[in-house]
Chains A and B, each alone.
Chain A
Amino acid sequence: MRQASVNSKTVVQFDSVSLRYGNGPEALQDISFSLSAGSFHFVTGPSGAGKSSLLRLLYLAQYPSAGVIRLFGTDTRTIRRQEVPMLRRRIGVVFQDFRLLDHLSAFDNVALPLRVAGLRESEIRPHVKELLEWVGLAEHLDSRPSTLSGGQQQRIAIARAVIGRPELLVADEPTGNVDDAIAMRLMYLFRELNRTGTTVVIATHNEALVARFDQPRLHIAQGRLAVAEAA
């Protein structure tokens, strides 16, 4: 089904990618790597190294100032504007600050990607309820995010990221604001998703966490890719 560029299982491919914000220095320089379908990668590096920037390129919040990015075999430079939303729907994102909409209930936040995709309400309802039950928020369907704890908000954010069964899941510091026990539970959750075939990319500066999960990593230092272990 996927159009192949390098190999039919390549989900992400970066070729000499650089990113510059405005007229500032390059936040990312000459980055090349590829991620195959079903892989699980950490993006590591100190604060300010460029992890979030790399992820922003991955979920199409940003386009590179130089180089080529292919997502699911599609060159993002030549993609037609109307096709971008379809590409984005294949990518689930857990934002560092969650970015939940506070005027919406937990249920409506999680349902958002499906509504945006134009699904009918009858298709949305059972699916969203089931997922919120799965992340332990069955009692909070109607709660506003701001009335919930940080951990609960995070689970809403994750549920929203996976509701559309994305092929690629991207999470920016998902364990940043939670204690170690919750962090571990989250990691197992991501690994569970990875086992069902989702390609997972997680940015973190938590070395202890990375050490406990034996997964390949993309290490960034000062905007450059230092280590790219084979998947």
Chain B
Amino acid sequence: MLRPLSSSLPLAYDESHRFLPLLVALMVFLAAMAVAGALIVHGLIGRWDRDVTGTLTVQVPPPAEAADTASSLRERLHAVERVLADTPGIASAQVLGRDQLVGLIEPWLGSGDLVSDLPLPGLIDVAVAPGGAIDITDLARRLAEAAPGTTVDDHQTWLQRLVDLGRAVEAAVLVALATVAAVTAATVIYATRTGMAVHRRAIELLRLIGAEDAYIARQFADRAFALALRGGLIGLLASVPALLLVDWAARRVGSGFIIDLSVPAHGWPLIVALPLLAALLARFTAQAAVHRATGRLP
């Protein structure tokens, strides 16, 4: 590949390879977008996962008919807190104050009299000790005994849905990448076959003077590699401004906001490697196409 010599086949003059860089540029651009999208979703889910794993939310309903709901709820919360304190593996249990509860529902219900009159349940934010294993079913049973109607939510249903969403996005991206790779490979196969037809006589000559199939394959593979790499770099260059724009817009939404839309730092090397991956794909495809064709020659 690095030989400073003229290639044995005049592939540099070939029309059949002209459009390869353009196509690979487009394919790498699309792949970069798809990968960035997948990485953003992946990072997002990873962060949510980290944030909620190891936490439980215990909800204690207010008594249905009590004279003094407030004090009754307080008693129930105490009972629940005692159970929690007796449960090994729990690092802390924090009862959310009424202000915090109102804060949580305010975005949906506003801050009128309605909210202040509303019988709100007690919420306890529980942190599980690192490595602590809690039997949720058993805990829920014991908490319900202490205060009927008490429920425990370990966020698994919500998380599972998120993970499912992430998987779906990743699957879609994989399908997109596979399509992009297939289109690239098909184009390389077409260009190689056309090139082999154009240079049929020269290829025959090379074989007659003792060239192995691998030698001829290398001529096409080197060319496909160089053209795909060139096209890939152009595609990458074209995608960078678009990706940076998304990244910038995402950061502008505000750090600390629950949705982080930026491309994770570890994702950039993968995106930057796309032209090389495309070039390698082109190289091996061309090689395989030549071997397939020469296999039928005498």
In the complex, the answer to whether B209 meets A113 with C-beta atoms within 8 Å is yes
In the complex, the answer to whether B209 meets A116 with C-beta atoms within 8 Å is yes
In the complex, the answer to whether B8 meets A101 with C-beta atoms within 8 Å is yes
User: Given the complex of chains A and B, what is the CA–CA distance between A160 and B8 in angstroms?
Assistant: 14
In the complex, the answer to whether A103 meets B208 with C-beta atoms within 8 Å is no
In the complex, the answer to whether B201 meets A88 with C-beta atoms within 8 Å is no
In the complex, the answer to whether B10 meets A59 with C-beta atoms within 8 Å is no
Of A60-68, A130-138, A184-192, the stretch lying at the interface with chain B is: A60-68
Flag A158-175 by CB within 8 Å of B: 1 or 0 each: 001000100000000000
* Known A-B contacts A101-B8, A103-B6; A160 and B208 likewise in contact (beta carbons under 8 Å): no
In the complex, the answer to whether B204 meets A113 with C-beta atoms within 8 Å is no
- The answer to whether the Cβ of B130 comes within 8 Å of any Cβ in the partner chain is no
Which residue of chain A lies nearest to B204 when distances are taken between CB atoms in the complex? A61
In the complex, the answer to whether A117 meets B210 with C-beta atoms within 8 Å is yes
Which residue of chain B lies nearest to A63 when distances are taken between CB atoms in the complex? B298
From A63, A86, A99, B210 is in contact (CB under 8 Å) with A86
Top 6 nearest A-B pairs by Cβ distance? A89-B210, A103-B10, A116-B211, A88-B210, A113-B209, A85-B212
Count of residues in B whose CB is under 8 Å from the partner chain: 19
Q: Which A residues lie within 8 Å of B211 (CB)?
A: 85, 116
Q: Which B residues lie within 8 Å of A209 (CB)?
A: none
- The answer to whether the Cβ of B193 comes within 8 Å of any Cβ in the partner chain is no
- The answer to whether the Cβ of A104 comes within 8 Å of any Cβ in the partner chain is yes
In the complex, the answer to whether B8 meets A116 with C-beta atoms within 8 Å is yes
A103-B6, A116-B211 given; name 14 further pairs at CB < 8 Å: A59-B208, A60-B298, A82-B212, A88-B208, A99-B201, A99-B205, A103-B13, A104-B6, A104-B8, A108-B6, A112-B206, A115-B8, A121-B5, A164-B209
Which residue of chain A lies nearest to B209 when distances are taken between CB atoms in the complex? A113
Give chain A's interface secondary structure class: loop
Q: Which residues of A from 34 to 90 have beta carbons under 8 Å from B?
A: 59-63, 82, 85-86, 88-89
In the complex, the answer to whether A116 meets B204 with C-beta atoms within 8 Å is no
User: Given the complex of chains A and B, what is the CA–CA distance between A117 and B8 in angstroms?
Assistant: 13
- Chain B residues with CB under 8 Å of chain A are 3, 5-6, 8, 10, 13, 201-202, 204-212, 215, 298
Which residue of chain B lies nearest to A105 when distances are taken between CB atoms in the complex? B6
Q: List 5 A-B contacts (CB under 8 A).
A: A88-B210, A93-B208, A102-B10, A108-B5, A164-B210
User: Given the complex of chains A and B, what is the CA–CA distance between A88 and B10 in angstroms?
Assistant: 23
Q: Tell me how far the C-beta of A13 lies from the nearest C-beta in chain B, rounded to whole angstroms.
A: 19
Q: Tell me how far the C-beta of B78 lies from the nearest C-beta in chain A, rounded to whole angstroms.
A: 85
* Known A-B contacts A108-B5, A108-B6; A116 and B210 likewise in contact (beta carbons under 8 Å): yes
Q: Which A residues lie within 8 Å of B6 (CB)?
A: 103-105, 108
Q: Tell me how far the C-beta of B27 lies from the nearest C-beta in chain A, rounded to whole angstroms.
A: 30
Q: Which B residues lie within 8 Å of A88 (CB)?
A: 207-210
* Known A-B contacts A115-B5, A116-B215; A85 and B201 likewise in contact (beta carbons under 8 Å): no
In the complex, the answer to whether A101 meets B210 with C-beta atoms within 8 Å is no
Q: Which residues of A from 94 to 130 have beta carbons under 8 Å from B?
A: 95, 99, 101-105, 108, 112-113, 115-117, 121
Q: Tell me how far the C-beta of B11 lies from the nearest C-beta in chain A, rounded to whole angstroms.
A: 9
